[in-house]
């Protein structure tokens, strides 16, 4: 990572997100991909979705896709020395220090898989604050909690990369996808829903990343399902928040996978 971390922090505060190229060195990406493959195989040892403490695998049955597949894993550091050490990498603190300070806490650790053609792998527009306990503990939506997502494989518009509305954090918490059943992985957010909260659908940006690139965000986001013909997309997520501002804090490590 060679970018100026102060400039990254300024962009996140201004635009609600920032892309960090080569966050993970290209030489190390192959190790990350191999460890992610191992984790996927560990998940499929379980016949259905599995949870033990914070460790969790979300597994969809054959009826949805013709074979079982894993869509998400949570807090896999409990079973992986590699990912336990990965979440503590100095790059995270280096890039987050100008944003959150050094006294921070991780509240989530996730990997997302998107098999090509599989249903129920897209997400409606939402803000990650939706998943935090005691939302009123976050006085500043951007400066009190951010998420870092790392592309394990290339993330493209075709295979379901992150999509965001720049500067939407300036509108506060919008509550999109909070109404009704609140299911994120069912259907897509329509343009008129964005307009209803004062946002222009034409301003939506696809956040395309190469393996090892990262994106930091604290704003409205979505992701479509993988419409590519071959590639599974994989991604890693890790949210974090400053302890001194929060009664309850959220920290997320997001990893996106693809193959």
Over residues 207-215, the mean pLDDT reads 95
Highest mean pLDDT among 26-30, 61-65, 156-160: 26-30
Q: Tell me the C-alpha distance between 59 and 182, whole Å.
A: 20
Q: Of all residues in the chain, what percent carry a pLDDT higher than 70?
A: 72
Q: Tell me the C-alpha distance between 209 and 126, whole Å.
A: 21
pLDDT interval class at 176 (50, 70, 90): confident
Q: Tell me the C-alpha distance between 237 and 251, whole Å.
A: 9
Q: Based on the structure, what is the number of domains in the chain?
A: 1
Token pair listed for 85: 């050490």
Q: Containing domain of residue 99, as a range?
A: 5-257
Give the CATH number, domain containing residue 66: 2.60.120.620
Q: Tell me the C-alpha distance between 154 and 163, whole Å.
A: 14
């Amino acid at each position: 990572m060679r970018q100026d971390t102060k400039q990254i922090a300024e962009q996140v505060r201004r635009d609600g997100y920032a892309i960090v190229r080569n966050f993970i060195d290209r030489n190390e990406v192959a190790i990350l991909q191999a460890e992610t493959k191992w984790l996927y195989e560990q998940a499929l040892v379980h016949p259905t979705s599995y949870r033990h403490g914070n460790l969790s695998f979300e597994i969809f049955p054959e009826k949805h896709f013709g074979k079982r597949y894993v869509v998400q894993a949570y807090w896999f550091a409990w079973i992986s020395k590699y990912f336990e050490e990965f979440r503590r990498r100095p790059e995270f603190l280096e890039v987050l220090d100008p944003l959150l300070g050094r006294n921070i806490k991780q509240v989530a650790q996730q990997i997302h898989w998107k098999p090509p053609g599989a249903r129920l792998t897209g997400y409606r527009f939402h803000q990650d604050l939706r998943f935090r306990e005691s939302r009123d503990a976050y006085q500043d939506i951007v400066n009190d909690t951010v998420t870092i997502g790392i592309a394990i494989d290339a993330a493209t518009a075709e295979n379901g990369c992150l999509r965001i509305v720049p500067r939407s954090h300036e509108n506060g918490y919008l509550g999109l996808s909070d109404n009704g059943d609140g299911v994120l992985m069912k259907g897509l957010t329509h343009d008129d829903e964005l307009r209803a909260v004062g946002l222009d659908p034409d301003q939506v940006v696809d956040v395309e990343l190469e393996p090892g690139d990262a994106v930091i965000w604290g704003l409205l986001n979505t992701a479509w399902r993988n419409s590519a013909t071959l590639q599974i997309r994989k991604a890693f997520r890790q949210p974090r928040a400053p302890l001194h501002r929060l009664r309850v804090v959220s920290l997320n490590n997001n990893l996106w996978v693809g193959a």
